Structure 1
Amino acid sequence: MTELDTVIHAPARLRVVATLATLDATDEITFPRLQQLLDMTAGNLSTHLRKLEDAGYVRMSKTHSGRKPVTYLALTTPGRRAFEDYTATLTALLKGSGT
Protein backbone atom coordinates (compact mmCIF):
# COMPACT_ATOMS: atom_id res chain seq x y z
CA MET A 1 0.00 0.00 0.00
CA THR A 2 1.31 3.44 -0.90
CA GLU A 3 1.68 5.92 1.95
CA LEU A 4 0.01 9.33 1.97
CA ASP A 5 2.43 12.21 1.43
CA THR A 6 3.05 13.49 4.97
CA VAL A 7 3.98 16.96 3.71
CA ILE A 8 0.54 17.38 2.18
CA HIS A 9 -1.41 15.29 4.72
CA ALA A 10 -1.27 17.83 7.57
CA PRO A 11 -4.74 19.43 7.58
CA ALA A 12 -3.60 23.04 7.11
CA ARG A 13 -1.18 22.13 4.32
CA LEU A 14 -3.84 20.01 2.64
CA ARG A 15 -6.13 23.04 2.62
CA VAL A 16 -3.35 25.21 1.15
CA VAL A 17 -2.49 22.72 -1.60
CA ALA A 18 -6.14 22.00 -2.42
CA THR A 19 -6.83 25.72 -2.74
CA LEU A 20 -3.77 26.35 -4.92
CA ALA A 21 -4.69 23.34 -7.08
CA THR A 22 -7.90 25.10 -8.11
CA LEU A 23 -5.81 27.72 -9.93
CA ASP A 24 -4.69 27.20 -13.50
CA ALA A 25 -1.09 26.02 -13.71
CA THR A 26 0.06 29.50 -14.79
CA ASP A 27 -1.95 31.46 -12.20
CA GLU A 28 -0.81 32.83 -8.86
CA ILE A 29 -2.59 34.13 -5.77
CA THR A 30 -1.45 36.76 -3.32
CA PHE A 31 -0.59 35.80 0.24
CA PRO A 32 -3.37 38.00 1.75
CA ARG A 33 -5.99 36.51 -0.58
CA LEU A 34 -4.96 32.95 0.32
CA GLN A 35 -4.92 33.89 3.99
CA GLN A 36 -8.44 35.27 3.65
CA LEU A 37 -9.75 32.22 1.78
CA LEU A 38 -8.32 29.82 4.37
CA ASP A 39 -9.07 32.02 7.40
CA MET A 40 -5.57 31.42 8.78
CA THR A 41 -3.25 33.73 10.67
CA ALA A 42 -0.30 35.10 8.73
CA GLY A 43 2.16 33.25 10.96
CA ASN A 44 0.39 29.91 10.67
CA LEU A 45 0.05 30.21 6.90
CA SER A 46 3.70 31.23 6.56
CA THR A 47 4.85 28.20 8.55
CA HIS A 48 2.92 25.79 6.36
CA LEU A 49 3.95 27.54 3.15
CA ARG A 50 7.59 27.24 4.18
CA LYS A 51 7.24 23.45 4.57
CA LEU A 52 5.53 23.21 1.19
CA GLU A 53 8.18 25.40 -0.42
CA ASP A 54 10.99 23.33 1.15
CA ALA A 55 9.39 20.22 -0.39
CA GLY A 56 9.31 21.96 -3.78
CA TYR A 57 5.51 21.96 -3.91
CA VAL A 58 4.89 25.70 -3.70
CA ARG A 59 6.60 28.59 -5.44
CA MET A 60 6.71 31.97 -3.71
CA SER A 61 7.68 35.08 -5.61
CA LYS A 62 8.11 38.39 -3.87
CA THR A 63 7.79 41.70 -5.64
CA HIS A 64 6.61 45.23 -4.96
CA SER A 65 3.47 47.05 -5.95
CA GLY A 66 4.63 50.62 -5.63
CA ARG A 67 6.35 50.65 -2.25
CA LYS A 68 4.34 47.78 -0.81
CA PRO A 69 5.80 44.23 -0.86
CA VAL A 70 3.58 41.56 -2.41
CA THR A 71 4.04 37.79 -2.22
CA TYR A 72 2.55 35.62 -4.95
CA LEU A 73 1.99 31.88 -4.49
CA ALA A 74 1.47 29.00 -6.88
CA LEU A 75 1.78 25.23 -6.99
CA THR A 76 4.85 24.00 -8.81
CA THR A 77 4.57 21.20 -11.37
CA PRO A 78 5.93 18.70 -8.81
CA GLY A 79 3.46 20.11 -6.25
CA ARG A 80 0.54 19.61 -8.61
CA ARG A 81 1.73 16.06 -9.36
CA ALA A 82 2.16 15.31 -5.64
CA PHE A 83 -1.39 16.53 -4.95
CA GLU A 84 -2.76 14.38 -7.77
CA ASP A 85 -0.88 11.36 -6.36
CA TYR A 86 -2.12 12.20 -2.86
CA THR A 87 -5.76 12.37 -3.96
CA ALA A 88 -5.42 9.13 -5.95
CA THR A 89 -3.89 7.35 -2.95
CA LEU A 90 -6.55 8.71 -0.61
CA THR A 91 -9.32 7.66 -2.98
CA ALA A 92 -7.86 4.15 -3.19
CA LEU A 93 -7.62 3.96 0.60
CA LEU A 94 -11.23 5.10 1.00
CA LYS A 95 -12.37 2.47 -1.47
CA GLY A 96 -10.43 -0.11 0.49
CA SER A 97 -8.27 -1.14 -2.44
CA GLY A 98 -4.91 0.38 -1.44
CA THR A 99 -2.32 0.87 -4.19
Structure 2
Amino acid sequence: MVETRFDETIHAPVRLRICGLLRPVDHLDFAVLRDALKVSDATLSKHLKTLATSGYVTSSKVASEGRGDARRITWLTLTRTGRSAFDAHVRALRQIAGSST
Protein backbone atom coordinates (compact mmCIF):
# COMPACT_ATOMS: atom_id res chain seq x y z
CA MET A 1 0.00 0.00 0.00
CA VAL A 2 1.24 3.49 -0.86
CA GLU A 3 1.61 5.73 2.18
CA THR A 4 -0.30 9.01 2.44
CA ARG A 5 0.89 11.19 5.31
CA PHE A 6 0.70 14.91 6.00
CA ASP A 7 4.15 16.02 7.19
CA GLU A 8 4.38 19.21 9.27
CA THR A 9 8.15 19.42 8.69
CA ILE A 10 7.83 19.38 4.92
CA HIS A 11 4.66 21.49 4.77
CA ALA A 12 6.33 24.83 5.65
CA PRO A 13 6.32 26.74 2.32
CA VAL A 14 10.09 27.07 1.85
CA ARG A 15 10.74 23.46 2.91
CA LEU A 16 7.97 22.22 0.61
CA ARG A 17 9.61 24.07 -2.28
CA ILE A 18 13.08 22.76 -1.33
CA CYS A 19 11.79 19.18 -1.42
CA GLY A 20 9.94 19.85 -4.66
CA LEU A 21 13.10 21.13 -6.33
CA LEU A 22 15.29 18.33 -4.98
CA ARG A 23 12.82 15.51 -5.72
CA PRO A 24 13.45 15.13 -9.48
CA VAL A 25 17.26 15.43 -9.31
CA ASP A 26 20.13 13.49 -7.74
CA HIS A 27 21.59 16.62 -6.13
CA LEU A 28 21.53 20.39 -6.43
CA ASP A 29 24.08 23.13 -5.68
CA PHE A 30 23.23 25.27 -2.61
CA ALA A 31 23.59 28.49 -4.64
CA VAL A 32 21.30 27.22 -7.40
CA LEU A 33 18.67 26.22 -4.84
CA ARG A 34 19.00 29.56 -3.01
CA ASP A 35 18.58 31.51 -6.25
CA ALA A 36 15.62 29.40 -7.41
CA LEU A 37 13.86 29.99 -4.09
CA LYS A 38 14.89 33.67 -3.93
CA VAL A 39 15.88 33.42 -0.27
CA SER A 40 19.00 34.40 1.67
CA ASP A 41 21.79 31.99 2.54
CA ALA A 42 20.72 32.16 6.20
CA THR A 43 17.08 31.37 5.42
CA LEU A 44 17.98 28.43 3.20
CA SER A 45 20.48 27.12 5.76
CA LYS A 46 17.86 27.27 8.52
CA HIS A 47 15.33 25.27 6.51
CA LEU A 48 17.95 22.77 5.33
CA LYS A 49 19.01 22.20 8.94
CA THR A 50 15.40 21.34 9.86
CA LEU A 51 15.14 18.93 6.92
CA ALA A 52 18.53 17.39 7.73
CA THR A 53 17.57 16.90 11.38
CA SER A 54 14.53 14.94 10.17
CA GLY A 55 16.77 12.84 7.92
CA TYR A 56 15.20 14.24 4.75
CA VAL A 57 18.21 16.07 3.27
CA THR A 58 21.95 15.49 3.26
CA SER A 59 24.71 17.79 2.12
CA SER A 60 28.26 17.33 0.96
CA LYS A 61 30.98 19.85 0.20
CA VAL A 62 33.18 19.30 -2.82
CA ALA A 63 36.08 21.36 -4.11
CA SER A 64 35.18 23.21 -7.27
CA GLU A 65 37.41 22.28 -10.17
CA GLY A 66 36.37 25.42 -12.05
CA ARG A 67 37.51 27.81 -9.34
CA GLY A 68 41.04 28.83 -8.60
CA ASP A 69 40.39 29.38 -4.90
CA ALA A 70 39.64 27.06 -1.99
CA ARG A 71 35.87 27.60 -1.97
CA ARG A 72 33.80 24.47 -2.06
CA ILE A 73 30.38 23.74 -3.52
CA THR A 74 27.70 22.45 -1.19
CA TRP A 75 25.61 19.77 -2.89
CA LEU A 76 22.19 18.93 -1.44
CA THR A 77 20.37 15.65 -1.82
CA LEU A 78 16.89 14.54 -0.83
CA THR A 79 17.43 11.24 1.00
CA ARG A 80 15.41 8.11 0.35
CA THR A 81 13.51 8.88 3.57
CA GLY A 82 12.99 12.45 2.37
CA ARG A 83 11.71 11.29 -1.02
CA SER A 84 9.23 8.90 0.63
CA ALA A 85 8.07 11.57 3.08
CA PHE A 86 7.69 14.16 0.32
CA ASP A 87 5.75 11.77 -1.92
CA ALA A 88 3.47 10.78 0.99
CA HIS A 89 2.92 14.46 1.82
CA VAL A 90 2.05 15.32 -1.80
CA ARG A 91 -0.45 12.44 -1.82
CA ALA A 92 -1.97 13.78 1.41
CA LEU A 93 -2.30 17.25 -0.11
CA ARG A 94 -3.99 15.78 -3.17
CA GLN A 95 -6.37 13.88 -0.93
CA ILE A 96 -7.18 17.06 1.02
CA ALA A 97 -7.76 18.90 -2.27
CA GLY A 98 -10.01 16.10 -3.49
CA SER A 99 -7.71 15.12 -6.35
CA SER A 100 -6.76 11.53 -7.08
CA THR A 101 -3.89 12.40 -9.47
Shorter-chain TM-score bucket reads 0.7 to 0.9
Q: Alignment RMSD, CA only?
A: 1.8
Partner of 2:42: 43
User: Which amino acid letter does the alignment assign opposite residue 49 of structure 2?
Assistant: R
Percentage identity across paired residues of the two chains: 38
TM-score normalised according to structure 2 size:
0.84
CA shift at 1:3, angstroms?
Answer: 5.7
TM-score normalised according to structure 1 size:
0.86
Query: C-alpha deviations, 1:15-64, integer Å up to 9, x for none?
Result: 101111121xxx21110011111111100000000000000000111222
Partner of 1:52: 51
Aligned residue pairs, count:
93
Partner of 1:29: 28
Structure 2 portions without partners, runs of 5+: none
Structure 1 segments of 4+ aligned residues over 3 angstroms from their partners:
none
